């Protein structure tokens, strides 16, 4: 019975009479329909120069967000010590929030007619966040590395806010100021408070 069914499927797939086939169409090859770094026209009343500039800076920040997401997940897994539970949860929460920013940034690039960075290997080429060692580090080093990564991104976001203001790309400007910058600043605060040298009980 199985062999008859298989033969019947093959016949349907190859008879050339225009009927649909349940067989997967594997090994499909075709040119890109839109290369990275190009724009397609969308009627949003924003000049190509402004859209192109915004896509470039947004993709850089998007790449940083992808790397920072990975950094938070790594620290979430490898954190150890007396504050393990609190930081294990905090790092995971921050990773989820970076994931939300990734989606917002990528969708903004697409809404401008660009192509959002999607491959982690591409993100690694664009990011300016230094790569950490592959192994485990002490908690204080993890926190310092995370804070420095945030500062790197925040500097880039502040510059992008000025750029999008000058080009009157208010949609990107609002995203960068209202979502990205404020989220990074809040995450810095929460992480930095874990390395303040304040005793639990004063004598």
What pTM, to 2 d.p., does this model score? Answer: 0.84
Alpha-carbon distance of 10 to 24, in angstroms, equals: 11
- CA-based radius of gyration for the chain: 23
* pLDDT of residue 23 exceeding 90: no
The C-alpha angle with vertex 49 and arms to 46 and 52, in degrees rounded to 5, equals 95
pLDDT of residue 24: 86
Q: Which residue has the higher pLDDT, 9 or 174?
A: 174
* pLDDT of residue 109 exceeding 90: yes
Indicate the domain borders of the chain.
Answer: 52-195
The C-alpha angle with vertex 189 and arms to 187 and 161, in degrees rounded to 5, equals 60
Residue with tokens 């991104």: 153
Predicted confidence (pLDDT) per residue in 118-138, tens digit:
999 999 999 999 999 999 999
Fold of 52-195: Ferritin (1.20.1260)
pLDDT band at 8 (very low <50, low <70, confident <90, very high): very low
DSSP state of 37: T
Task: For the chain, count helices (H), then strands (E).
Answer: 7, 0
Average pLDDT (174-192) is: 97
Residues in the chain: 203
CA distances from 122 to 44, 143, 172 (A): 28, 26, 22
Average pLDDT (135-150) is: 95
* pLDDT of residue 165 exceeding 60: yes
Q: Average per-residue pLDDT in the chain?
A: 89
Rounded to 5 degrees, what are φ and ψ at 54?
A: -65, -45
The C-alpha angle with vertex 169 and arms to 163 and 174, in degrees rounded to 5, equals 90
CB of 181 closer than 8 Å to CB of 154: yes
């Amino acid at each position: 019975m199985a062999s008859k069914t298989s033969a019947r499927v093959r016949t349907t797939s190859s008879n050339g009479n225009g009927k649909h086939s349940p067989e997967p169409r594997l090994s499909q090859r075709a040119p890109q329909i839109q290369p990275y770094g190009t724009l397609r026209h969308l009627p949003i009343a924003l000049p190509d120069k402004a859209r192109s500039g915004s896509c470039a800076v947004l993709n850089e920040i998007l790449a940083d967000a992808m790397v920072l997401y990975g950094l938070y997940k790594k620290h979430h897994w490898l954190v150890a010590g007396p504050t393990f539970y609190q930081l294990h949860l905090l790092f995971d929460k921050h990773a989820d929030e970076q994931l939300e920013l990734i989606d917002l940034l990528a969708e903004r690039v697409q809404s401008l007619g660009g192509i959002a960075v999607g491959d982690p290997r591409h993100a690694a080429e664009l990011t300016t966040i230094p790569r950490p060692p592959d192994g485990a580090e002490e908690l204080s080093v993890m926190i310092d590395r995370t804070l420095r990564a945030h500062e790197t991104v925040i500097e880039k976001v502040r510059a992008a806010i000025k750029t999008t203001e000058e080009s009157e790309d208010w949609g990107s400007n609002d995203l960068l100021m209202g979502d990205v910058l404020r989220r990074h600043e809040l995450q810095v605060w929460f992480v930095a408070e874990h390395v303040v040298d304040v005793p639990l009980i004063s004598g």
